[in-house]
Amino acid sequence: MLCVELLSFKCCDDMIGAEGEFRVFMEKMYQMEGLDPLSSKIIALVYISPDDVAMDEIARETGYSLASISLKVTMLAQFEIISKIRKPNSKKYYVHMEKNFINATIDQLVRKQQNQLTYAKSELPGIIEMFRERAITDDDKKKLVIVKDYQDQIMKFDSVINDIINMLRKIK
């Protein structure tokens, strides 16, 4: 049986095909979410790796420059999809990703609540009040309705997100 070293662990020929298929699957999944091909490759590679992956290994595996990998990893880390870490006594940067899909989904939903929804709930009442005070024309009044509808939708969405988070926490 043919065995090769792939990302610092040995992998036999039948597993190379399975890993390759999974990586292609993950790349497509993340591209469906709107990520570019390189970001999707990085995520797929890190997700399937049992350990954190050094950025130079990602560069070697993908064929992209270390600079390109570093830029994409930094961007993905800003969106909290992955983590860029340093290990003790090492100058290298490593990439880590939550392997539990449910935990990762909960984290994303909680961040959405804490950031966007909290901001919307705090800012929209003041904006709506400004519209109420200044709405003179029919066009202004229609805009007020649009903003109020948006606020109502945000509140409903926040409630649904809470329900989903609670359901996911029960099954994990």
- What is the span of the domain harbouring residue 138? 101-171
Alpha carbon dihedral 52, 57, 58, 64, in 10-degree steps, equals 170
Sign of torsion over alpha carbons 100, 101, 103, 108: positive
What pLDDT score does 17 carry?
87
Write the DSSP symbol of residue 85.
E
What distance in Å separates the CA atoms of residue 96 and residue 86, rounded to the nearest whole number?
10
Are residues 114 and 164 both part of a single domain? Answer: yes
What pLDDT score does 15 carry?
58
Q: What is the 3-state secondary structure (H, E, C) of 38-69?
A: HHHHHHHHHHHCCCCEEHHHHHHHHCCCHHHH
What pLDDT score does 135 carry?
87
User: Measured between alpha carbons, how far apart are the two ends of the chain, in Å?
Assistant: 37
Are residues 145 and 66 both part of a single domain? Answer: no
Q: The CATH number of the domain where 81 resides is what? A: 1.10.10.10
Tens of pLDDT along the chain (172 residues)? 334 444 444 444 555 789 999 999 999 999 999 999 999 999 999 999 999 999 999 999 999 999 999 999 999 999 889 999 999 999 999 999 999 999 999 999 999 899 999 999 999 999 999 999 998 999 999 999 999 999 999 999 999 999 999 999 999 7
Angle at 98 between CA 92 and CA 104, to 5 degrees: 145
Are residues 80 and 124 both part of a single domain? Answer: no
Are residues 47 and 90 both part of a single domain? Answer: yes
Write down the pTM of the prediction.
0.73
Are residues 121 and 160 both part of a single domain? Answer: yes
What pLDDT score does 10 carry?
44
Are residues 133 and 61 both part of a single domain? Answer: no
